[in-house]
Amino acid sequence: DAGVTQSPTHLIKTRGQQVTLRCSPKSGHDTVSWYQQALGQGPQFIFQYYEEEERQRGNFPDRFSGHQFPNYSSELNVNALLLGDSALYLCASSWQDNEQFFGPGTRLTVL
């Protein structure tokens, strides 16, 4: 079992661009949550997907959107990138409301 995987590992973009991050959940998991972790801070909840629907959303603007596919994998899209969007983006998967398992993260740098 590969566990939770994320791609890419690192990404550099410029302000105003758009980015798509990808997450494959652990085998048997059906729920994917996304978190943003700024340098030196704890992660912040962005949103959660279950049964291909956004189930809950944290305090993030509409520039942040996502999708879950029938195979439970998920994408996080960020439009009109700002310098402040530079962070580590973490994906976590679980089977419904059980323990979450985290991926290695994607480090996004916005120049």
Partner 1 sequence: KNEVEQSPQNLTAQEGEFITINCSYSVGISALHWLQQHPGGGIVSLFMLSSGKKKHGRLIATINIQEKHSSLHITASHPRDSAVYICAVWGSGGGADGLTFGKGTHLIIQP
Residues at the interface with partner 1 (CB under 8 A): 31, 33, 35, 37, 41-48, 50, 55-56, 58, 88, 90, 92, 94, 96-102, 104-105, 107
In whole angstroms, give the CA distance from residue 22 to residue 83: 21
Minimal distance, residue 66 CB to partner 1, in Å:
13
In whole angstroms, give the CA distance from residue 94 to residue 100: 5
In whole angstroms, give the CA distance from residue 49 to residue 24: 12
CA 39, 43, 49, 55: dihedral to nearest 10 degrees? -130
53 vs 62, beta carbon nearer partner 1: 53
25 vs 43, beta carbon nearer partner 1: 43
34 beta partners:
47, 91
Minimal distance, residue 28 CB to partner 1, in Å:
15
Minimal distance, residue 70 CB to partner 1, in Å:
20
34 vs 78, beta carbon nearer partner 1: 34
